[in-house]
Amino acid sequence: MKTIGFKWVALCIVSVCATFVSVQSDLTVKVKNIRSAKGKVMIAADKGQYAMVDATGDTATLVLKEMPEGKCKLYVYHDENGNYQLDREDGVPAENCAIVDLDMTAEAKTIDVELKDVRALQDKAKK
């Protein structure tokens, strides 16, 4: 009799805990507009996930594992010189980069991100 009662209590506890676990899924990110085949393409989410791959062409595919549902930001850049930092000149990113606001859902499995040359965009805006 004690065993049956214990099993029911354990089952209830597991059921309640399972409802509070957030849904997580992998996110595939296709990065476009990579300036050269040098260095690495890096991505990080504000939830702690990150990935990097060697830059081998003008596109790269990265996978962020176990992305939780909800809103997040993705920070992507091409670390062309391989120093693992987003280099800046006068406070402006010198390497192509992008920041993406994302509402991660269980259905969101793949997104495309296009890197931008921020210096060129600022110079164009000044003209």
Residue 20, φ and ψ in degrees, nearest 5: -90, -10
CATH topology of domain 22-126: Immunoglobulin-like (2.60.40)
Domain boundaries, the chain: 22-126
Give backbone dihedrals phi and psi of 90, rounded to 5 degrees, phi first: 55, 35
Which tens digits make up the pLDDT trace of 39-94? 999 999 999 999 999 999 999 999 999 999 999 999 999 999 999 999 999 899 99
pTM, to two decimals: 0.77
The sheet carrying 40-45 orders its strands as 50-54, 40-45, 70-79, 97-104
What pLDDT, on the 0 to 100 scale, is given for residue 6? 53
Give the pLDDT of residue 71: 93
Distance of CA 27 to the CA centre of its chain: 7
